[in-house]
């Protein structure tokens, strides 16, 4: 039956593996890129490996990912195998009930499972963190184990176990020596699936975790704003470790390996390899439990829980702050204002948030925030007066500005004719550039463009104007075939894949610094000015420390480090001026327009308008 | 034969806490309107009525289409690989299956970024083509790029269960079929393929479910215009904050999938009876 593999089969295996590993090879290559880009290779460098080692967040995330994946795999494999064996002997009603329920986590989209578990954990009063993440991972891994093991159990002859027991085996012996060895491939497959699912999960982990416990996926997703090859470096190391293990295993004397295998299959003698595996599992379990204890016993006197957008602070500043104020900063990140709001809604608690203008307005209205005590902010005068006292928070009662900017058009000067820029936003309807542009995949930003092009306010709630803007967007979609992209548009613009993109000024600054052919302009019809600011939540536990943190971020040295790291326009005036003369000299995008009569700030939208926007935007996109 | 029956009891309790209660919660959301308090619930079918709109129906159809195409390609590509692997020596089999799995341990987002980089207009493939003096091919933001990304990500989940079914197949059955005069094709069709059905069904279900609810891959490789059910649900829960409508969509999706799975299962049962 097992014959020599034909040349065709070998070719087929090779082709399949080439397909699976092509993206991995690319990932590995770009881990050695000397620039930040993930699409243009500009030279060999090890800098991302150095930054990986220096990044405590990633190192911690690796620890969480690995221990959670192993623990979840072990527990869900045991639980799932037990259940599968039990099910085959179970009464039909109960069996169907369990199998039916078991399908639900598999067939529900992750996001639904994630939200429902987030609500469950909140209502159970469990403190979110390592334990809740582990429980959730067991929850979505076990169904996969059961679906792999159960068919194997079903195909077993039920008389086998009976025969063993007739011959004098205890039920436990029958289980471990007869049944389990027979279903080993199913268990192996289930464990493999469970590990894979757990290791790569983002959505569920994100919503059920808290208190600063993050896995690799959470870190990666929050890096998308400024994705950089650090994470490629991490993947390369993971790959290298896996292949090293495989190599060692294949180099081990054949006898030892096969002995280990035989014994583990027959369950008679404990082979060396099995002992090793057992030892590893024990170590991981101990490590996981100690992490659990640690996360539960964060009894240090001063703790500050900060919730900020991804890649939106220079990590060294957090270290410096912790040292100076002898406190612990639990730092968590979000991908969008709405994601932050969803977590707040579910009752997650933080001390400091860094949302954008319209979200701050909403949080003030819904009573999530407490006023800032400006007497505690020594560096108050350092803030650029142009960005104080704006419509989202008149008098800055609740918010301390952090970064700000505008929205405009980033374009490739080698493709776009300078004269065409006179059309303002209607450049995005110029048939010359059909198929050559990115729109920002967010309903508010896209409607802003259309409303401004039509000469309306971007905060209108007049349905007639909104419908006109909708028609503008439909016309654009049909004639221009734009791509509705997210932050990935930046990398593509730098690589020169498309010529025009609707972009935030801060991202434009970065893109222009990477590719000199790019330039940025803000149409005369007006645009969106945006402001991100620090606010203190109502349930903040250490108000004084929270103020100290905001004050610390406004220091000239802090703001300078932060600006160099992020590249956005800072709220600290002296640094803002310095940057225009030094690092960002000649880059117009760094200097957002101030005082233009047509520019506006996003205002709070009532639920009705928001739904209308959302529905129309879905219609624009889903052609 | 009651031995081992109680082994499944812990999971029953687990199911009630972690599956049943959250499910009730979602269904409750689906049938109520915004602004409910625990004391007063407004039951309504408005969320379901809203889905009856050409735009949303098109989203459902497109998702099912892409899901089916991805599943078929994964099956056609994955079955032969699983089959070839199952013909190898035991140790080689384990190694190859591990090699199939390893790529999925690299973050999905990163692998998708790598594909963007390979397929882009100025990307690796087009760079090679232009060096060979051939024209540029647009691959990004098409059905092709989305399906390619999904196939690459989900194929292992087709291969593993099929391989599990094939690897422990009783060789004597195959020999018996051959002895009884079946040719290779007949043996494969009548014996091997039938016996691997549980694995095939497992793999098909898993890939289809992942394909139909995925939203990161279509978003990155297809652009925002690739609105699939997953994107729709995600935006209802996150950016719009209409959990009721989001719950209604996912309830409908779950019901549709349950029906599809029932059909698959009944096929499985027929197969089992035929054997």
Across the interface, whether the CB atoms of B105 and A338 are under 8 A apart is answered no
Question: From the CB of residue A540, how many other CB atoms can be counted at a distance below 10 Å?
Answer: 21
What is the C-alpha separation between A611 and A135, in angstroms, rounded?
Answer: 35
Task: Give domain status of residue B156, yes or no.
Answer: yes
- Report the chain B residue with the minimal C-alpha distance to residue A159: B1
pLDDT value of position B1: 47
What is the C-alpha separation between A144 and B207, in angstroms, rounded?
Answer: 12
Same domain, A492 and A557: no
With cut-offs at 50, 70 and 90, classify the pLDDT of residue A2.
very low
What is the C-alpha separation between A273 and A259, in angstroms, rounded?
Answer: 9
Q: Is A163 on the interface with B (CB under 8 A)?
A: no
Task: Give domain status of residue B127, yes or no.
Answer: yes
Same domain, A319 and A450: no
Return the residue in B110, B146, B170, B245 with the most chain A beta carbons within 10 A, the one to mutate for interface testing: B110
Phi, psi of B158 (to 5 degrees): -85, -40
Cα atoms in the 13 Å half-sphere on the side-chain side of A275: 6
Chain A CB contacts of B163 below 8 Å: 189
Same domain, A371 and A515: no
What is the C-alpha separation between A372 and A368, in angstroms, rounded?
Answer: 13
Tens of pLDDT, residue by residue over B8-45, are 888 888 889 898 998 888 888 889 876 655 556 677 88
Domain of B199: which CATH number? 1.10.3720.10
Find the CB nearest B120 among A21, A39, A113.
A39
Task: Give domain status of residue B48, yes or no.
Answer: no
* C-alpha torsion sign, points A256, A186, B217, B131: positive
Same domain, A64 and A202: yes
Same domain, A94 and A214: yes
Lowest mean pLDDT among A227-236, A530-539, B91-100: A227-236
- Chain B nearest-CA distance from A1, in A, is 7
Task: Give domain status of residue B41, yes or no.
Answer: no
- Residue that wins the pLDDT comparison between A401 and B189: A401
Strands A483-485 and A437-440: parallel
Task: Give domain status of residue A83, yes or no.
Answer: yes
Query: In which domain, by residue range, is A338 found?
Result: 303-401+534-561+573-583
Question: Which of residues A205, A223, A241 is at a domain's end?
Answer: A223
Contact by Cβ (8 Å): A522, A406:
yes
What is the rounded average pLDDT of the residues A117-141?
Answer: 88
Q: In chain B, positions 50-79, which contact chain A (CB-CB < 8 Å)? A: 55-56, 58-59, 62, 77
Same domain, A69 and A211: yes
- Chain B nearest-CA distance from A575, in A, is 34
What is the C-alpha separation between A384 and A573, in angstroms, rounded?
Answer: 5
Question: Which of residues A223, A245, A273 is at a domain's end?
Answer: A223
Same domain, A490 and A414: yes
Across the interface, whether the CB atoms of A106 and B62 are under 8 A apart is answered no
Across the interface, whether the CB atoms of A101 and B20 are under 8 A apart is answered yes
Strands A500-504 and A437-440: parallel
Chain A CB contacts of B18 below 8 Å: 117, 120, 135, 139
- Give the number of domains in chain B: 1
- Report the chain B residue with the minimal C-alpha distance to residue A617: B225
Phi, psi of A331 (to 5 degrees): -110, 120
Question: Which of residues A178, A204, A223 is at a domain's end?
Answer: A223
Dig out the tokens for B10 from the structure.
């812990």
- What is the pTM assigned to this prediction? 0.86
Tens of pLDDT, residue by residue over B76-88, are 999 999 999 998 8
Q: How many residues does chain A have?
A: 623
What is the C-alpha separation between A194 and A382, in angstroms, rounded?
Answer: 53
Across the interface, whether the CB atoms of B8 and A30 are under 8 A apart is answered no
- Chain B nearest-CA distance from A350, in A, is 19
Spatial CA neighbour of A86 closest among B14, B20, B22, B162? B14
Query: In which domain, by residue range, is B121 found?
Result: 57-274
pLDDT value of position A390: 94
Same domain, A310 and A392: yes
Same domain, A518 and A556: no
Spatial CA neighbour of A343 closest among A132, A610, A58? A132
Show the CA angle centred on residue B240, arms to residues A359 and A104, nearest 5°.
130
Domain of A611: which CATH number? 3.40.190.10
Lowest mean pLDDT among A133-142, A163-172, A586-595, B245-254: A163-172
pLDDT value of position A494: 87
- Report the chain B residue with the minimal C-alpha distance to residue A336: B239
Across the interface, whether the CB atoms of B88 and A162 are under 8 A apart is answered no
Q: Is B274 on the interface with A (CB under 8 A)?
A: no
What is the C-alpha separation between B154 and B104, in angstroms, rounded?
Answer: 9
| DSSP conformation class of A310 | T
Task: Give domain status of residue B138, yes or no.
Answer: yes
| ipTM value | 0.90
Task: Give domain status of residue A178, yes or no.
Answer: yes
Task: Give domain status of residue A247, yes or no.
Answer: no
Across the A/B interface, how many CB contacts are shorter than 8 Å?
327
- CA-to-CA separations, A87 to A97, A99, A132, A139, A314, in angstroms, rounded: 10, 9, 27, 18, 53
Task: Give domain status of residue B38, yes or no.
Answer: no
Same domain, A485 and A544: no
Dig out the tokens for B170 from the structure.
């009783």
Task: Give domain status of residue B259, yes or no.
Answer: yes
Asked if pLDDT for residue B156 goes beyond 50, the answer is yes
Find the CB nearest A26 among B19, B117, B163.
B117
Across the interface, whether the CB atoms of A120 and B160 are under 8 A apart is answered no
- Give the number of domains in chain A: 3
Q: In chain A, positions 525-584, which contact chain B (CB-CB < 8 Å)? A: none
Task: Give domain status of residue A34, yes or no.
Answer: no
Spatial CA neighbour of A558 closest among A570, A542, A545, A544? A570
Torsion, CA A599, CA A603, CA A607, CA A611, rounded to 10: 20
Same domain, A73 and A198: yes
- Report the chain B residue with the minimal C-alpha distance to residue A607: B240
Across the interface, whether the CB atoms of B88 and A2 are under 8 A apart is answered yes
Task: Give domain status of residue B25, yes or no.
Answer: no
Return the residue in B11, B151, B158, B235 with the most chain A beta carbons within 10 A, the one to mutate for interface testing: B11
Output the average pLDDT for chain A: 86
Same domain, A129 and A198: yes
Domain of A70: which CATH number? 1.10.3720.10
């Amino acid at each position: 039956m097992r014959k020599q593999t034909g040349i065709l089969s070998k070719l087929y295996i090779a082709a399949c593996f080439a397909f699976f590993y092509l993206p991995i090879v690319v990932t590995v290559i770009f881990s050695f890129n000397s620039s930040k880009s993930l699409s243009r290779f500009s030279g060999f460098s090890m800098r991302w490996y150095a930054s990986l080692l220096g990044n405590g967040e990633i190192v911690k995330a690796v620890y969480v990912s690995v221990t959670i994946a192993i623990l979840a795999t072990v527990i869900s494999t045991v639980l799932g195998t037990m259940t599968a064996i039990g099910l085959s002997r179970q009464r039909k009603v109960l069996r169907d009930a369990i199998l039916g329920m078991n399908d639900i986590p598999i067939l529900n989209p992750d996001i639904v499972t994630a939200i429902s578990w987030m609500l469950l954990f909140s209502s159970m009063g469990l403190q979110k963190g390592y334990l809740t993440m582990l429980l959730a991972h067991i929850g979505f891994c076990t169904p996969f184990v059961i679906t792999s093991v159960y068919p194997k159990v079903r195909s077993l002859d039920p008389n086998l176990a009976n025969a063993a027991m007739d011959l004098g085996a205890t039920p436990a012996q029958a289980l471990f020596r007869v049944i389990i060895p027979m279903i080993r491939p199913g268990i192996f497959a289930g464990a493999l699936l469970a590990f894979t699912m757990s290791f790569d999960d983002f959505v569920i982990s994100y919503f059920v975790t808290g208190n600063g416990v993050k896995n690799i996926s959470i870190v990666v997703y929050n890096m998308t704003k400024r994705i950089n090859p650090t994470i490629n470096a991490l993947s390369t190391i993971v790959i290298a470790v896996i292949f090293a293990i495989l190599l060692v295993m294949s180099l081990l004397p054949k006898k030892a390996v096969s002995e280990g295998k035989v014994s583990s299959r027959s369950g008679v003698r404990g082979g060396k390899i099995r002992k090793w595996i057992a030892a590893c599992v024990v170590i991981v379990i101990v490590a996981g439990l100690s992490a659990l204890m640690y996360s539960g016993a964060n009894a240090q006197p001063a703790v500050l829980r900060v919730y900020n957008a991804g890649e939106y602070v220079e990590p060294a500043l957090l270290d410096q702050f912790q040292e100076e104020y002898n406190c612990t900063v639990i730092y968590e990140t979000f991908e969008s204002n709405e994601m932050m709001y969803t977590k707040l809604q579910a009752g997650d608690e933080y001390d400091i948030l860094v949302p954008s203008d319209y979200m701050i307005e909403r949080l003030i209205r819904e009573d999530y925030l407490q006023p800032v005590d400006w007497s505690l902010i020594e560096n108050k005068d350092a803030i650029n007066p142009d960005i104080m006292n704006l419509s989202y928070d008149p008098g800055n009662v609740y918010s301390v500005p952090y970064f700000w900017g505008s929205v405009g058009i980033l374009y490739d000067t080698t493709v776009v004719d300078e004269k065409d820029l006179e059309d303002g936003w209607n450049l995005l309807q110029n048939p010359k550039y059909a198929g050559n542009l990115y729109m920002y995949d967010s309903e508010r930003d896209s409607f802003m463009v259309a409303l401004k092009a039509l000469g309306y306010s971007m905060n209108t709630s007049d349905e007639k104007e909104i419908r006109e803007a909708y028609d503008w967007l439909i016309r654009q979609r049909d004639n221009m075939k734009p791509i509705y992209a997210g932050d990935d548009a930046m990398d593509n613009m730098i690589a020169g894949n498309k010529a025009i993109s609707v972009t935030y000024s801060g991202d434009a600054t970065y893109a222009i610094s990477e590719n000199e052919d790019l330039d940025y302009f803000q149409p005369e019809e007006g645009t969106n000015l945006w402001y991100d600011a620090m606010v203190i939540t109502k349930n903040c536990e250490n108000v004084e420390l929270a103020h100290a943190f905001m004050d610390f971020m406004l220091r000239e040295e802090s703001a300078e480090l932060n600006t160099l790291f992020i590249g956005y326009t800072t709220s600290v005036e002296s640094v803002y001026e310095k940057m225009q003369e030094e690092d960002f000299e000649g880059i117009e995008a760094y200097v957002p327009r101030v005082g233009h009569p047509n520019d506006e700030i996003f205002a709070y939208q009532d639920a009705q308008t928001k739904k209308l926007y959302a529905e129309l935007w879905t219609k624009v996109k889903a052609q | 034969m009651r031995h081992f029956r109680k082994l499944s009891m812990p999971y029953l309790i687990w199911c009630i806490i972690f599956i049943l209660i959250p499910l009730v919660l979602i269904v409750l959301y689906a049938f109520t309107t915004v602004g409910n308090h625990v004391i007063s619930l407004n039951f309504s079918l408005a969320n379901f009525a809203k889905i009856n709109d050409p735009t949303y129906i098109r989203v459902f159809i497109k998702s099912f289409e892409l899901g089916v195409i991805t599943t078929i390609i994964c099956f056609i590509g994955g079955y032969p690989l699983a089959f070839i692997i199952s013909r190898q020596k035991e140790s080689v089999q384990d190694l190859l299956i591990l090699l199939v799995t390893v790529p999925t341990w690299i973050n999905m987002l990163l692998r998708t970024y790598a594909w963007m980089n390979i397929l882009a207009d100025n990307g690796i493939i087009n760079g090679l083509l232009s060096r060979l003096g051939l024209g540029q091919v647009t691959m990004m933001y098409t059905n092709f790029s989305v399906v390619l990304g999904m196939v690459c990500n989900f194929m292992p989940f087709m291969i593993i269960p099929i391989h599990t079914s094939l690897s422990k197949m009783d060789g004597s059955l195959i020999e018996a079929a051959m002895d009884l005069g079946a040719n290779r094709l007949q043996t494969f069709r009548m014996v091997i393929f039938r016996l691997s059905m549980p694995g095939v069904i497992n793999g098909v279900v898993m890939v289809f479910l992942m394909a139909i609810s995925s939203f990161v891959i279509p978003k990155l490789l297809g652009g925002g215009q690739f609105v699939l059910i997953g994107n729709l649900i995600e935006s209802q829960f996150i950016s719009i904050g209409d959990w009721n409508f989001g719950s209604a969509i996912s309830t409908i999706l779950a019901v549709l999938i349950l029906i599809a799975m029932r059909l698959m299962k009944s096929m499985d049962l027929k197969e089992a009876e035929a054997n």
